[in-house]
Structure 1
Amino acid sequence: MSKEIIFFDATKLAELIRTQEVSPVEVVQAHLDRIDAVNPKINAIVTVADGVLKAAKAAEAAVLAGEELGPLHGVPFTVKDSIDTAGVLTQRGSPIFKGRVPDTDATSVARMRKAGGILLAKTNLPEFSYWIESDNLLSGRSNNPWDLERTPGGSSGGESAAIAAGMSPIGLGTDLAISVRGPAAQTGIVSLKATHGRVPMTGIWPRVPRRFWHVGPMARTVRDLVLAFSQLAGPDGLDAFATSTVQFDAGAGRSPHRQLRVGWLVEPGFGPVDPEVAATVKAAAEALKGVGCFVEPVRIPALERDFALDVFNRLHVMEMKPAFAEATAGRSQDELYKMAKTMLALPDTSMEDYIDAEQAAERLRDGYADYFTRYDALLTPVLPLPAHKHGQTEFTINGQTVDATYLQGATVPLNVTGLPGLSMRFGTSKEGLPINVQFVGKWLAESTILHLASLLEGVSPVRNLHPDLR
């Protein structure tokens, strides 16, 4: 049963544990065995948590004693290595933080534990959690389990690879511009970047620009995103952006009295998109029609007036560069990798450009607000192309050559505006690589996009759900 266990989702594992069909020890050991077997090829796991089997035995004892169990009781979970974990190495992908062990859990980790989850391991990331490929001087490069010559993305690439490869059923990543949704697309899993502030960023570094940072669940099924988000959402009294007291209602998007209205958009506004990706978005739109939604192609003029990636670049460099300078002050250049050096070398944004970018961000928010007066959700690409080869810095997409930052074209608008976005697989490239689509919802309307994703999951044409890593 261990082979089945590693590809059961967290919801199924929790059910099997609760009914004593499997034990937490059996589940944790199956995942530890899987890590031993495939992590040397993938390098997604950077630290296995001390005492994980001891925690599993305690969870097993609670089940046998008939104690009240949390919704994730006995289920192992993994965490990106920029998120603090009490007593477990959190080294942020840099020799500067080598050996760093936090005293307390990040709020998101504490909430997963409170739900009964067992911290299994920490996962790889780029230096300082900042790039579209997970590679650093401390723990090296992560590989995509679908093709080891390709990246699982960044910055939550280790997390996406671990889940796709069966080393973890569910985990936590962070997202500044792409970083839970892009890696999910490159490995064919699901992920949720909720409305900004819905899940506190307490205990996660870097803190700036915190108005763009998010922490969110990554998993293999939509129902696991629902389960995790129900535990993660809500203020903690420490993150001033996390103030919404609106309760998450997993059934709120399922009104039987009104047909859900969904627009779909590939271009313009996101940069060039590969024809295979565009075709997958269109196929998903047609599938939504088939399950009863009103669906039509749309354009959002605000995205055409202000390219969100340009807006983001002008804003975040001004705010993030000082944080990098502070973290690296007095350190040897030998301790810095590509992105720290690149960030520190970037020219400062002029105050005129910064103010102009702030106004553009407001126009983007207004543009989406106008769109959502007529529609319940938006369907878009996640990435403009499937997972790419390691180290690529430019791409030719649909006849246009662009630099690697353009991979963020369809994801970064949601960081600039704070809107919720969900990444899920709905296609496969000619090379056998996953292709995901992205649902965008109104602010605080995670229930709607989770419901739509669940509907789409039920009619997915995808059959090869797991990479072959024999």
Structure 2
Amino acid sequence: MSTALVYQDATKLAELIRTKEVSPVEVVQAHLDRIHLTNPKINAIVTVADDALKAAKVAEAAVLAGEKLGPLHGVPFTAKDSFDTAGVLTQLGSPIFKGRVPDTDATGIARMKKAGGILLAKTNLPEFSYWIESDNLLSGRTLNPWNLDRTPGGSSGGESAAIAAGMSPIGLATDVAISVRGPAALTGVIGLKATHGRIPMTGVWPRVPRRFWHAGPMARSIRDIALAYALLAGPDGADGFSTSPLSLDAGIGVVPNRPIRVGWLVEPGFGAIDNDVAATVRAAAEALKSAGVIVEEVRIPVLEQINALEVLWKLQAMETKPAFRKATAGHEDLIYKHVQGVFDTPDTSIEDFVMAEQQIETMRDGFAQYFARYDALLCPVTPVPAHAHDAAEFVINGQTVSSLHVMDATAPLSVTGLPGLSMRFGTSRDGLPIGVQLVSPWFAESTILHLGSLLESLSPVRDLHPTLANMGIQS
């Protein structure tokens, strides 16, 4: 029964608990057992919450007493180790913060708990959340449960790997350029980066540069993502970027009362794209068309004119350095290579800084023009499936590109604040998950959740999970 439980989605687990078919204690224990079995190979979990079973017993008593239950009552969840968790280690992927235990929960954690969720564990990340893989000097490297020689991505690779491996049904992650959507795609789960500010970042570090950081859910079903989004979205009175009322778009059932128009795009605009990835995007476009969606191949000129990742890096390099230098002062010997890379990046001139900000405005205008004609965009998440650890470059269709190219299809949404949904829709020739990305206008998350639900129902890869053999475990 425990094996079946760890691959149920959070919505189903909540239903089973509500109807007393299973107890919260059984569910939490099943996931703790899964962590014990798989985490030594994957290294996705860095801290298990000591009181998870105690909280499960309290949740069980509430069910038996007939109390009113929240939508996630008794369901375990995990969170990237950049979310503050009251009484539970939050170490930010750095030995500089070893032993740090916050007094209060981040807003996202508090909202999951209010819905009845039980914090199970914290997940691995790169130092300070700043890299495309998830490794650090404190807790080491996370491996992809589909193939241990491949990365689960970053910076939320621990979260994506934990969910893919059945250690958690649902969790919280963050994204500044790729960090929710990329790891989700590389491990075959689902991730949502909502409109910037839609989900408060209170209690998450770092926040620099604040106007690009996002928090978002990861899970294994669209309905779980929609539920989590509805729970997490809305102002908290503390995050000055989180101001839009929840009533604007609750993410459930709010779709245009007419045929939906979707444009799909592989190249040009995102650079070189692996053939398997391109074929997966095309297959998703055909699937939507078969479901009655108006689908057309498109080009978005601004994506061909401006490299969003280069723009983002020019701004980040200047804005992160002061915060990181303050955080690491006196501990320079404990800085890992990724944050050191930030320090080693040349300063951006004020002229280039201003130009970068203006380029972002131009990109927003370009997307606004696109969304005047289409309800959504379908495109790649990453240009390649999960790649080898520490890869410096890729060869795609005979073209050699930097490994940073992995962010070229995700960074445009980060700098413009657009929402993006990453979900699996294909498989590479060597058996790795391939994701597609759905993009909607600002504050129209319901559109991409609706389209994601359509794709989920039509997907050729439903209910696929990495095996214990994939994870190097003898069954």
TM-score normalised to structure 2 length:
0.97
Following TM superposition, by how much is the alpha carbon of 1:460 offset from its aligned partner in structure 2, in angstroms? 0.3
Q: Is the Cα contact below 8 Å between 2:262 and 2:377 reproduced in 1? A: yes
Q: Take 1:77 and 1:246, find their aligned partners in 2: how far apart are those partners? A: 23
Does 1:201 find its partner at 2:178? no
The aligned counterpart of 1:71 is 71
Secondary structure (helix, strand or coil) at the match of 1:161 reads helix
1:15-68: per-residue Cα shift (whole Å, max 9, x none)? 000010000000000000000001000000000001110000000000000000
Structure-to-structure mapping, 1:159-178, within 5 angstroms: 159-178=159-178
Pair 231,251 (structure 1): closer, same or farther in 2 beyond 3 Å: closer
Following TM superposition, by how much is the alpha carbon of 1:309 offset from its aligned partner in structure 2, in angstroms? 1.2
The aligned counterpart of 1:379 is 378
| Structure 1: segments with no counterpart, 5+ residues | none
Q: Is the Cα contact below 8 Å between 1:277 and 1:385 reproduced in 2? A: yes
Counterpart code for 2:456: E
Secondary structure (helix, strand or coil) at the match of 1:120 reads strand
The aligned counterpart of 2:471 is none
Secondary structure (helix, strand or coil) at the match of 1:423 reads strand
The aligned counterpart of 2:250 is 249
Q: Is the Cα contact below 8 Å between 2:134 and 2:142 reproduced in 1? A: yes
Q: Take 1:75 and 1:252, find their aligned partners in 2: how far apart are those partners? A: 24
Q: Take 1:204 and 1:281, find their aligned partners in 2: how far apart are those partners? A: 33
- Identity within the alignment, %: 71
Q: Is the Cα contact below 8 Å between 2:233 and 2:246 reproduced in 1? A: no
1:87-113: per-residue Cα shift (whole Å, max 9, x none)? 000000000000000000000000000
The aligned counterpart of 1:146 is 146
The aligned counterpart of 1:395 is 394
Q: Is the Cα contact below 8 Å between 1:175 and 1:214 reproduced in 2? A: yes
The aligned counterpart of 2:291 is 291
Does 1:307 find its partner at 2:307? yes
Structure-to-structure mapping, 1:15-54, within 5 angstroms: 15-54=15-54
Secondary structure (helix, strand or coil) at the match of 1:211 reads helix
Counterpart code for 1:204: V
| Structure 2: segments with no counterpart, 5+ residues | 469-474
The number of aligned residues is: 468
Q: Take 1:290 and 1:386, find their aligned partners in 2: how far apart are those partners? A: 26
Q: Is the Cα contact below 8 Å between 2:226 and 2:252 reproduced in 1? A: no
The aligned counterpart of 1:279 is 279
The aligned counterpart of 2:423 is 424
Structure-to-structure mapping, 1:55-454, within 5 angstroms: 55-247=55-247, 248-255=249-256, 257-333=257-333, 335-454=334-453
Which segment is superposed worse, 338-347 or 407-416? 338-347
Q: Is the Cα contact below 8 Å between 1:193 and 1:422 reproduced in 2? A: yes
Counterpart code for 1:343: V
TM-score normalised to structure 1 length:
0.98
Q: Take 2:244 and 2:267, find their aligned partners in 1: how far apart are those partners? A: 33
Counterpart code for 2:124: N
Q: Take 1:377 and 1:399, find their aligned partners in 2: how far apart are those partners? A: 31
1:249-301: per-residue Cα shift (whole Å, max 9, x none)? 3444444x410000001111112110110010000000000001000000111
Pair 437,222 (structure 1): closer, same or farther in 2 beyond 3 Å: same
Q: Take 1:267 and 1:246, find their aligned partners in 2: how far apart are those partners? A: 35
1:423-462: per-residue Cα shift (whole Å, max 9, x none)? 0000000000000000001000000000000001000011
Q: Take 1:233 and 1:12, find their aligned partners in 2: how far apart are those partners? A: 22
Q: Take 1:288 and 1:313, find their aligned partners in 2: how far apart are those partners? A: 35
Q: Is the Cα contact below 8 Å between 1:253 and 1:449 reproduced in 2? A: no
Q: Is the Cα contact below 8 Å between 1:177 and 1:408 reproduced in 2? A: yes
